Amino acid sequence: MSEISSDNTIALTIDAQAVEVPPGATLLEAARQAGIEIPTMCFLPGRPASTSCMVCVVKVQGHSPLLPACGTKAEPGMVVESETPEVHAARRAALELLLSEHVGDCLGPCHLACPAQMNIPLMLRQIAAGQLNEAIATVKQDIALPAVLGRICPAPCEKACRRRTKDNAVAICLLKRYVADVDLATQQPYQPVSEGTNGKRVAIVGAGPAGLSAAYYLARRGHACTLFDDHDQPGGMVRYSVDEEQLPREVLDAEIATITNLAVQFKPQCTLGHDISLATLRSEFDAVLIAIGQVEPADAGGLGLTASDRGVQAQRRTFQTELPDVFAAGSAVRPTRLAVRACADGRQAATAIDQYLTHKPLTGETPPFNSRMGKLQQGEIDVFTALANAAARVENGQVADDGLRHEQARTEAERCLHCDCRKADRCQLREQAQAYQATVNRYGSERPLFTQLTQHADLIFEPGKCIKCGICLTLAREAAEPLGLSFIGRGFDVRVAPPFDESLADALTQAAKTCVERCPTGALVWKNQTISG
């Protein structure tokens, strides 16, 4: 390979791919020119590299240490590798070092405590903003029967609500019921955008919460579903075991209709093993889901399925049985009296069945990466409550028989402390930590206090989420901010802050928008997320 080609470009290889770049180009620029993605967190295009995060390291043949791609100039004949086990391990270690100083939760405690893993904080913000169409879409992303669960769920999410340590938890279940009831009262209740019929057929045996939930999420993905049940109406335990005063049947029927309206067929009075066999279902359908409630070991054997000590034996994350086209969920796999748990199982089984039918790797749902602060230290709850509505919790005795009033719901939703990250879905640290399977507590240390700078009218700065990349300093300087931001302190104690202990409002008067957009974590965020456009 010649050192410099006739057109004055530098030739090198990256991941066995030949690349030619102009003199002065970095390895990062060369990789991007070749369509090779190298992760970065501290890099700002068109500016000098800070090489502070070290997430972009690569292996250069002939160099012992790994080199940062953003700050290493391309040289003629270089042989670069960006996807070796050594490189991946180094990137993972760099991410774990950044996480060791991280103060904040990706997901709120209520979100994590919900058996269905619903994005509760997002729903609460949408209610507070009056965005009820968006709120019901958020709810139904994870829960197919919110009007039902809003009445009967024992609310484990509320037990995890941080506001309990200050006064009382947010009334999450009442708010979930409110969103669902408002939707059901419209002429056209929420219907998800379907991916279109794909010709695949799924038999779901059992029309209780698990079966209904599975049908809903499979139908959304374009699979034709038929529900078989030994009763004359769908609903399972929520119809036949829950008092009608607690769960009015018109509510149950209306919510089930939002599922069956997705071209889901219902075949009543059809008992598996008596009216129809598993072998028949397997011959007529592309996949089968067993969601018939608790199954005794002997009954599982009679169906041709292997039994565990709790029911039908199925893989924990995929719900697949030893028969590759047969899945099992809900109480059929493990006894549960929680309808929300059964609904979650149905959705998760639907994900796995969809993977099976579309020939994707059968992994089930992938748990999202999450950094957790853990137990709050003294005074930290006051930081959270400072931006929340100070109103007292709305109690059941204050709620009309038909649920919360609009103003009650808005006020209650505003009590949310926003414990989750305001930029969780756009945080590069979280994204890369998930991609490289970083361990949050690999380099354990005593965490600093959780703090927020809130003096700015539109912004919040959370120092504990700052990775000291310097991007905001550069942007503030380029915007000719009179004050701007600075690195304060030295060594491991360095931090980003307005100089001379001035206010954040004075520090960012021109560059606020670009700083929020470019911040690689949730350190700089909007107070009101709707203003970010």
CATH of the domain at 278: 3.50.50.60
* 139: in domain: yes
Q: What is the pLDDT of residue 533?
A: 32
Task: Verify that 37 and 172 share a domain, yes or no.
Answer: no
Q: How many domains does the chain have?
A: 4
Q: For the CA atoms of 397, 401, 403, 405, what is the dihedral angle to 10 degrees?
A: -80
Among candidate residues 357, 374, 393, the one where a domain is terminated: 357
Residue 527 lies in a domain: yes
* Domain-embedded: residue 143: yes
Enter the pTM of the model.
0.92
Q: Do residues 23 and 62 both lie within one domain?
A: yes
Q: Evaluate whether residue 50 is within a structural domain.
A: yes
Q: Indicate if 275 and 338 belong to the same structural domain.
A: yes
Q: What is the pLDDT of residue 67?
A: 97
Do 121 and 47 share a structural domain? Answer: no
* Beta-strand relationship, 524-526 and 17-21: unpaired
Do 311 and 206 belong to one domain?
yes
Task: Tell me, yes or no, whether 309 lies in a domain.
Answer: yes
In a domain, 488, yes or no: yes
Residue 183 sits in a domain whose CATH number is: 1.10.1060.10
Tell me: do 222 and 350 sit in the same domain: yes
> Dihedral angle at the C-alpha atoms of 347, 349, 351, 352, nearest 10 degrees?
170
The residue type at 281: L
| Same-domain status, 159 and 212 | no
Q: Is residue 363 included in any domain, yes or no?
A: no
Torsion region of 458: left, alpha or beta (phi above 0 gives left; psi -120 to 50 gives alpha): alpha
212 and 337 together in one domain? yes
CA angle 219, 223, 229 (to 5 degrees): 70
Residues 6+ apart with CB under 8 A from 268: 229, 231, 232, 233, 234
Tell whether 215 and 259 lie within a shared domain: yes
User: Which distant-in-sequence residues (6+ apart) come within 8 Å of 166 by Cβ?
Assistant: 381, 382, 384, 385
Residues of the domain holding 179: 109-188+384-413
Question: Are 275 and 167 part of one and the same domain?
Answer: no
Q: Are residues 136 and 41 in the same domain?
A: no
The number of C-alpha atoms within 13 Å of 297 and in the hemisphere containing its C-beta is 4
pLDDT attached to residue 309? 85
Same-domain check for residues 285 and 208 = yes
How far is the C-alpha of 216 from the C-alpha of 230, rounded, in Å? 20
Residue 170 located in a structural domain: yes
CATH number at residue 500: 3.30.70.20
131: CB partners within 8 A, 6+ apart: none
Which CATH number is 64's domain given? 3.10.20.740
Pull the structure tokens for residue 164.
């309990």
Digit-by-digit pLDDT tens for the chain (533 residues) are: 345 555 689 999 999 999 999 999 999 999 999 999 999 999 999 999 999 999 999 999 998 899 999 999 999 999 999 999 999 999 999 999 999 999 999 999 999 999 999 999 999 999 999 999 999 999 999 999 999 999 999 999 999 999 999 999 999 999 999 999 999 999 999 998 877 788 999 999 999 999 999 999 999 999 999 999 999 999 999 999 999 999 999 999 999 999 999 989 999 999 998 999 999 999 999 999 999 999 888 888 888 899 888 889 999 999 999 999 999 999 999 988 899 999 999 999 999 999 999 999 999 999 999 999 989 999 999 999 999 999 999 987 788 777 899 999 999 999 999 999 999 999 999 999 999 999 998 987 788 899 999 999 999 999 999 999 999 999 999 999 999 999 998 877 899 999 988 999 999 999 999 999 999 999 999 988 653 33
